[in-house]
Amino acid sequence: MALVRNPYKGTVPALNDLIAGHIQVLFADSPPVLPQINGGKVRALGVTTGKRIPAAPDIPVIDILHQHMNAYVASPEGQKKLMDMGLIPGASTPPAELAKFVAKEVDAWAQVVQKAGIAGIE
């Protein structure tokens, strides 16, 4: 199975396609998908938060997702997919290290925005 990115105009159309079996994976906020998870229509693979969410304490956290993503990237299919996209497969960044990097980048770019006087402009 090839991994194909399919942008949607919202979570609900994507969720409908997930339930119908037109797509196999969906990254989404929990409010629209929790009823479908609780109703057994979709299966949650994990959450991207640092801790499990109280409304769904049985859903695993980011470390489990990281393990599965590493396994895919290390697979021949994952390697080929990345190379076909012009990327060079390499070692992944551990979740805690990535979180620190992202926080540092957010702070750095916030300072750029403030200095440029464009804060709040959309």
Return the pLDDT at 34.
95
Mean per-residue pLDDT pooled into runs of 10, the chain (122 residues): 75 94 90 94 86 89 83 92 90 87 93 87 62
User: Any idea what the Cα angle at residue 22 is, between residues 80 and 64, rounded to 5°?
Assistant: 55
Task: Name the nearest CA neighbour of 2 among 61, 80, 98.
Answer: 80
Residue spans of the domains in the chain: they are: 1-91, 92-122
| Report field, pTM of the whole predicted structure over 0.85 | no
95 and 79 Cβ atoms separated by less than 8 Å:
no
Return the pLDDT at 14.
94
CATH of 1-91, one of 2.60.40.10, 3.40.605.10, 3.40.190.10, 3.40.50.300: 3.40.190.10
